[in-house]
Structure 1
Amino acid sequence: MKNICLLLIWVSTWGIAQTNRFFYEYKFIPNSMDKAEVKKEMMLLDIDKNGSVYYSHDKFVSDSIAKADVERQLKAGSGNININKREKPGTVTFKVTKSYPDFVTYLFRSIGTDQYKIKEDTKPEWKIASEKQKIGEYSTQKATTSLGGREWTAWFTTDIPFQDGPYKFYGLPGLIVKIEDSTGSHSMLLVGNKTVLPSQDNDVQLPDNIRLLGMGGKELEITKDQFRKAWKAYANDPSKNMREMMMKNSGDSNMKTVVKMRTSDGKELSDPNQIYKEIEKRTKENIKKNNNHREPDLFR
C-alpha cells in the first residue's frame, strides 16, 4: 500500500507543469559620462512551454510585498492607502516576454505612472562564428547581432536546448550563456538555474483614482515611435501625470487626496506646486544620470 501511495504522489508531481528558471547577472553602466560606476542586478529568465519572461528578481520580490500590503489595506476598507518606500525595490524596472512558437516579443516598461507594452518589430539576425570558449560549465560558441542601436556579442550553448536568452535575444541553436554590447556598457551572464512551479502572481486591482508606479492597471500597447513621443513628452514635463491625477481627484467631492514627499535634505513638502517642482527636478536629474540605455534608438 505504501508503494502505491508513493507512486501516486510521483505521478501527480510529474504531471504538474514546471518552469525552467535561469539566473543572469546583469552588469550595466547607467551613466555614459561615469564609466567607473557599474551596477549589478540579478535577473530571472523563466521558460515554460508557452514562452519566456525576463525580469528583475529584486523588483519581483519588492512588488510582491507591496501588492500584499495594498491588498490588505483595500480589504480593510478604511479609505486610506499608505505607500511606504520599499527596501531593495530593484534598479531594473522593465520586463520582456516572448511567446512561443513565433517568439512574439514585448518590452514592458513605465514612464512615470503610465505603463506601456511595446512590440518588437524586428527579429535578431545572427552571424554565427566558429570561435568557441568554455564559460563556467558550458561549452559555448560565438554569435553577433545588432539591436536597438548597439552591436552585441553572444555566447550560446547547445547543452541547453532552448533557443532563447536574456532580454529580447533569441534564435540561436541553444540558450545564450553570455551577451555583451561592444562598449561594455551592458552585460548579461548566466550564473545558475533551477526548476520551479509556475507563478500565480496576479496584478492588484486598484481603484480608478489610484495610480502607482509599476503596479495595477493594464499596459497600453504602443509602437516604438509612440513610445519615443511619450518619452520626450515626459522628459519635457515630468509632473504632468501627477497634476492630472490631482485635478481629477479634486473634482470628486467624496475623495480627498493628500500628497506629501520629502526633499533629499529631509524637508517635507505638501504644497502641490512645490511637489510638482521637486518631481520635475528629480526626474530631470535622474534622466541625465541614466543616459546609457540598452536600446539608445528608443530614446532618440
Structure 2
Amino acid sequence: MKKIILSLLLVLGCSIFAQTNRFFYDYKFIPDSTNKEDVKTEMMLLDIDKSGSKYYSRETFVADSTMKADIEKQLKGSPGNISINRKNNQGLVSEKVTKQYPDFKTYLFVRVSTDSYKVEEDQKPIWKILPDKQKIGEYNVQKATTKFGGREWTAWFSTDIPFQDGPYKFYGLPGLIVKIEDKTGSHSMTLIGNKTIQVNADQEMNLPTGMQIMGMGGKDIEASKSQFKKVWKAYINDPTKNMREMMMKNSETNKIVFKSKTSDGREISDPNQVFREIEKRTKENLKKNNNPIELDLYK
C-alpha cells in the first residue's frame, strides 16, 4: 500500500512541477524613436521545457502575481466588492510569447485594455547564417541575420546550448540565440545567465461567473494578426471602452471599483474621473511608445 501511495505522489508531483531550463535576458529598448537617449531595460525570462518555451518579463510576472493574490483575498472576504488598485513597478513589458514544440507554433499574448489576446504568428524567421564568429560572455557564438516584424535583425547563436530557440518570437538556428539586435539599435536582447528550476503549473484565478478583471479570470481571445490590428486601432480611438463595458456588465451582481492617480499624485475613484485620467494617460503613453518591437503589428 505504501508503494502505491508513493507512486501516486510521484505521478502527482510530475504533473504539478516540471523541470525547466530558465535563461535570463537583458532586454534594452528605445520606446520613443524621437528620443534615442532614453533607453529602457527589463529582465526577461525564457523558460524552456520538453513541451515548449515561454518568454516574459520577470517584473511584470511578479506584479501580476501580487495583484492576483490581492484579488483572490478580496473575493474570499467580500466577493461583491472588488477594488482594483494597480501598484507601481508594474514592469515595462506586459507581452509574453510562447512556442509549442516540436513545430514551434508561436503565440503572442498581449493585453488591450481589460482583454487579453492570444495572437497566432503566421510567419517564421528565415535566417541567413554567416561565417562570422566571436565570444559573448562564456559562449562561442556565430552570426545570423533575418528580417522579421518590419525590422532587420542580427543574431548571435551558440551551438554549445542545444536549444533551437531564443527570446521573443525568434527560433530556428542550430543553437540558442545568445544575443539579437535590430538594425536601428532600438531593441536588443542579450543572454546573461541560466539555471535549471522546478516550475509550478499555472493556475487560473477563480472569479465569479461572468467577471473578468484586467485580462484575468477569462479565456484569452484568440486572434489572427489581421484581427488584432483592427482591435488595436479601435483601442487607440477609445482606450476606456472595454473598461466601461465591463463595469456596466457587472453593475448588478458585483461592484467593481477602479482607482487611479492624477499627475499630481491625487487618488481618484469616481468612475468618470478615472476613465478620463486613464484615457489621457493612455494617449500620452502611446505617443511616447511609438517604437514597438514589431512595427508591422501595430500599424
Matched residues, number: 286
Question: For residues 272 and 79 of structure 2, what CA distance do their matches in structure 1 show?
Answer: 28
CA contact (8 A) 2:147 2:153 kept: yes
**1:79 deviation in Å?**
2.8
CA contact (8 A) 1:124 1:146 kept: yes
CA contact (8 A) 2:18 2:200 kept: no
**1:245 deviation in Å?**
1.9
Residue 263 of structure 1 is matched in structure 2 by 262
Question: For residues 275 and 73 of structure 2, what CA distance do their matches in structure 1 show?
Answer: 30
Question: For residues 137 and 151 of structure 2, what CA distance do their matches in structure 1 show?
Answer: 26
Residue 271 of structure 2 is matched in structure 1 by 272
Question: Quick one: which amino acid aligns to residue 206 of structure 1?
Answer: L
Residue 34 of structure 2 is matched in structure 1 by 33
CA contact (8 A) 2:150 2:295 kept: yes
CA contact (8 A) 2:60 2:94 kept: yes
**1:77 deviation in Å?**
3.8
TM-score computed with the length of structure 1 as normaliser: 0.90
CA contact (8 A) 2:81 2:257 kept: no
Extract unaligned runs of 5+ from structure 1: 1-7
Residue 51 of structure 1 is matched in structure 2 by 52
Q: Secondary structure at the match of 2:66?
A: helix
**1:279 deviation in Å?**
1.9
Distance 1:257 1:139, change over 3 A: closer
Question: For residues 91 and 24 of structure 1, what CA distance do their matches in structure 2 show?
Answer: 14
Where in structure 1 do 4 or more consecutive aligned residues deviate above 6 Å? none
Question: For residues 209 and 76 of structure 1, what CA distance do their matches in structure 2 show?
Answer: 19
Q: Which moved more, 1:268-277 or 1:179-188?
A: 268-277
Instruction: For residues 178-218 of structure 1, give each alpha carbon's deviation from its aligned partner in whole angstroms, at most 9, with x where no partner exists.
Output: 00000000000000000001232312122345433243311
Q: Which moved more, 1:58-67 or 1:125-134?
A: 58-67
Question: For residues 212 and 66 of structure 1, what CA distance do their matches in structure 2 show?
Answer: 11
Residue 180 of structure 1 is matched in structure 2 by 181
Residue 282 of structure 2 is matched in structure 1 by 283
Instruction: For residues 222-281 of structure 1, give each alpha carbon's deviation from its aligned partner in whole angstroms, at most 9, with x where no partner exists.
Output: 01111110000000011111221232234x2x5444444331113444443333322221
Equivalent runs, 1:197-208 vs 2, <5 Å? 197-208=198-209
Question: For residues 74 and 249 of structure 2, what CA distance do their matches in structure 1 show?
Answer: 22
Residue 120 of structure 1 is matched in structure 2 by 121
Question: Quick one: which amino acid aligns to residue 241 of structure 1?
Answer: N
Question: For residues 203 and 259 of structure 1, what CA distance do their matches in structure 2 show?
Answer: 22
Residue 3 of structure 1 is matched in structure 2 by none
Q: Which moved more, 1:256-265 or 1:105-114?
A: 256-265
Distance 1:176 1:107, change over 3 A: same
Question: Quick one: which amino acid aligns to residue 106 of structure 2?
Answer: T
Equivalent runs, 1:70-109 vs 2, <5 Å? 70-77=71-78, 79-109=80-110
Residue 4 of structure 1 is matched in structure 2 by none
Question: Quick one: which amino acid aligns to residue 229 of structure 2?
Answer: R
Q: Which moved more, 1:79-88 or 1:227-236?
A: 79-88
User: Higher RCO, 1 or 2 (CA under 8 Å, sep at least 6)?
Assistant: 2
Q: How large is the Cα RMSD of the aligned pairs?
A: 1.9
Q: Identity percentage over the alignment?
A: 66
Question: For residues 91 and 110 of structure 1, what CA distance do their matches in structure 2 show?
Answer: 13
CA contact (8 A) 2:125 2:170 kept: yes
Q: Secondary structure at the match of 1:197?
A: strand
Equivalent runs, 1:244-263 vs 2, <5 Å? 244-250=245-251, 252=252, 254-263=253-262
CA contact (8 A) 2:83 2:259 kept: no
CA contact (8 A) 2:83 2:258 kept: no
**1:61 deviation in Å?**
1.4
CA contact (8 A) 1:44 1:54 kept: yes
Residue 291 of structure 2 is matched in structure 1 by 292
Equivalent runs, 1:156-175 vs 2, <5 Å? 156-175=157-176
Question: Quick one: which amino acid aligns to residue 260 of structure 2?
Answer: M
Residue 232 of structure 1 is matched in structure 2 by 233
